[in-house]
């Protein structure tokens, strides 16, 4: 399914989707829930849709201006409501700035 960016499917059913057991946070409490996420034929397709989501949705406009500081980008996504996990920004920052990402990018 290549649902790497975990974009929820929403209504309409205009694109392929898949049900996934996930952890959502409601009033600070972690709960397990089955949610419908967009599914893609490839990682390239998933990243393209992620970029389209961020650029087309006004609530993420300020986040796209952050091009240098990965932590600020992650905090901006969290503040804009991208994820319910209260630790989302910290987790994303660790991935972006981690050794595996640096190695994969040749740095």
Residue 45 annotated as catalytic: no
Residue 49 annotated as catalytic: yes
Encoded tokens for 4? 């790497």
Question: Which of 35, 45, 49, 85 is an active site residue?
Answer: 49
Residue among 78, 40, 42, 38 at smallest CA distance from 60: 78
Rounded CA-CA distance 76/60 in Å is: 8
Residues noted as catalytic: 24, 49
């Amino acid at each position: 399914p290549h649902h790497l960016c975990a974009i929820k499917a929403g209504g309409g059913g205009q694109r392929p989707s898949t049900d996934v057991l996930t952890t959502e946070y409601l009033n600070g409490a972690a709960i397990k829930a089955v949610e419908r996420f967009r599914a893609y034929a490839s990682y390239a397709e998933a990243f393209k849709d992620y970029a389209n989501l961020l650029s087309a949705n006004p609530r993420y406009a300020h986040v796209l201006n952050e091009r240098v500081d990965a932590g600020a980008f992650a905090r901006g996504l969290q503040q804009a409501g991208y994820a319910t996990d209260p630790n989302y920004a910290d987790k994303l920052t660790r991935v972006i700035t981690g050794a595996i990402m640096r190695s994969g990018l040749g740095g």
